[in-house]
Amino acid sequence: MKNSTLPQLYEEMRRVRTFEERVGELFVRGQSAGSMLHLSIGEESAAVGVCAAMREGDTFTTHHRGHGIFLARGADPNRMMAEIAGKDSGYCHGKGGSMHIADMGLGHLGANAIVGGGIPAVVGAGLSARHAQSGAVSVAFFGDGATGQGILYESMNMAALWKLPVMFVCINNQYGMGTRIDQATANPNLHERAAAFGLAARTVDGLNVEDVVDAAVELMEGARAGTPAFLAVDCYRFYGHARKDKSPYRAEAEEEEGRKKDPVLHARARLVESGLMSEADADALDARVAAEMDDSIGYAVAGEEPQMASMFRDVYDPTEPEPEPVRTRLDRVLAQG
């Protein structure tokens, strides 16, 4: 492991894990916008491993459990937390919240609360990249629940037919809300469905982030050359579907066993065992990350609420006059007597 990238991968996974823990804290404190948010704790290797294989200029879409993916792709945790808190200093000025964050500057074409809703956007992005000969790949991240959505199969078929630089990444956390995957599909080998469409397809165990990186690099390079790909990353969702969900549909023994597949702790143990990092250095790194994410909560809480006058910003062409808000119109009409 002389030239291993595991230290960097571990740090990124620790950042994702700690950020998600702070998001949960923000929710419990009643300071997040909206009543729903979904944590990706247990899935860190999928986000960090695949994003490590991406290049500058690549684009991607995420699902409703996409905080970690965006962070792994270079997002600012302060602006992310502010967005989740519904503040004007957030990526979408507080309008997107947890499930609709986007940033074209980082290639993030948008998260989507609709299961599978963001998948077809990468087909268009891949077509654009091919025509522009930019060498970029567009990646769709989604959960195993999206494999029940027809739009995934239409998108895979079109990507294969047109040989687009597209990669489909299924983060298989074993549950679609409260339904375990083996109760929803007769064949849980999800990559076999993609192979039937002509995609290069495989499944990788998400316990080892380096295995995820290796698989992602191989498939993504093929996608750049015109062979679209599908990668399923097997993980375990540590907590319920959403922050309020106490997962009564899972036995305590199952959760205890599932949480043993912790990619963050696994990476840390391998770092220490290989001599790449001491326990003291790992503790110091963890503390530094914790302080960074504590600061993100402070930044979000201190942020300003969006002004009513900004409600149409980023909705209409900036050269067009903004519509008059109903409240303003009523005030104007009533003032006329």
pLDDT tens-digit readout, 85-135: 999 999 999 999 999 999 999 999 999 999 999 999 999 999 999 999 999
Per-residue pLDDT, 2 = 55
pLDDT tens-digit readout, 26-64: 999 999 998 788 999 999 999 999 999 999 999 999 999
pLDDT tens-digit readout, 301-335: 999 999 887 888 888 888 888 888 888 888 888 88
Q: Looking at residues 288-304, what average pLDDT do you find?
A: 97
pTM greater than 0.85 (yes/no): yes
Instruction: Name the token pair of 9.
Output: 């991968």
Neighbouring-strand partners of residue 125: none
Q: Is the distance from CB of 147 to CB of 62 less than 8 angstroms?
A: no
Q: Looking at residues 188-214, what average pLDDT do you find?
A: 96
How does the average pLDDT of the chain come out, rounded? 94
Per-residue pLDDT, 3 = 60
pLDDT band for position 76 (cuts 50, 70, 90): very high
Instruction: Using the predicted structure, report yes or no on whether residue 1 has a pLDDT greater than 70.
Output: no
Q: In terms of C-beta density within 10 A (0-12 exposed, 13-18 middle, 19 or more buried), how is residue 31 classed?
A: middle
Question: Identity (one letter) of the amino acid at 303?
Answer: G
Question: Identity (one letter) of the amino acid at 257?
Answer: E
Sorted by where each starts, the structural domains of the chain and their CATH numbers stand as 6-335 (3.40.50.970)
Per-residue pLDDT, 337 = 67
**Percent of the chain surpassing pLDDT 90:** 82
List the one residue out of 296, 263, 283, 300 whose CA is nearest residue 6: 263
pLDDT tens-digit readout, 248-271: 999 999 999 999 999 999 999 999
**Using CA atoms in the order 252, 37, 44, 219, what is the torsion angle rounded to 10 degrees?**
120
